[in-house]
Amino acid sequence: MMKNFILLVIVSFCIFSSANLQAQINLSGGNENDMYTKAPNFKWNTTLHDFGKMVYNKPQTFTFTFTNTGSAPLVISQVKGSCECTKAEFIPTPIPPGKTGWVKATYDASKVGEFNRNVTVTANIDGGPVNLNIKGVVLAKK
């Protein structure tokens, strides 16, 4: 009899806690996932760009865009190419929640052949740096 009573109390507590959590979510106008996205976060349009065939010594640039899906400003502190042939720049201002920002990657095309490089983006997000990838083929001079 005592075991049944204790089990009833535990089940009632779980149901009440779940209902209370759902009520808090509903009052905030969000959903359950919102409770875990307080930190800034990237949502990239793409993290890979293929330049295709490139002319030797004719640099090309691609602009990666993202949205801050968190509820705090997103601040990029550093972007770094994987080699000297890959330059990167980024939006220098904090990105408010729901707004978009960018990172530009430029490949200098100074070496003939296939390439696959990345740009590492460091920001105030959970989970550490993000890698953006660029690839293509630099054609020999004719």
C-alpha span between 34 and 105 (Å, rounded): 31
pLDDT at position 118 over 60: yes
Name the pLDDT band for 135 (thresholds 50, 70, 90): very high
Q: What is the pLDDT of residues 28-81, one digit of tens each?
A: 444 445 444 589 999 999 999 999 999 999 999 999 999 999 999 999 999 999
pTM: 0.72
Which of 30 and 130 is assigned the larger pLDDT?
A: 130
Q: What is the pLDDT of residue 21?
A: 43
What is the residue type of 87?
K
φ/ψ bin of 14: left (φ > 0), alpha (ψ from -120 to 50), beta (otherwise): alpha
The CATH code of the domain at 42-139 is 2.60.40.10
Average pLDDT, the chain: 83
Name the pLDDT band for 117 (thresholds 50, 70, 90): very high
C-alpha span between 36 and 67 (Å, rounded): 17
C-alpha span between 95 and 54 (Å, rounded): 33
Domain boundaries, the chain: 2-36, 42-139
DSSP codes, the chain: -HHHHHHHHHHHHHHHHHHHHHHHHHHHT--GGGGG--S--EEES-SEEEEEEEETT--EEEEEEEEE-SSS-B-EEEEEESSTTEEEEE--S-B-TT-EEEEEEEE---S-EEEEEEEEEEES-TT--EEEEEEEEEEPP-
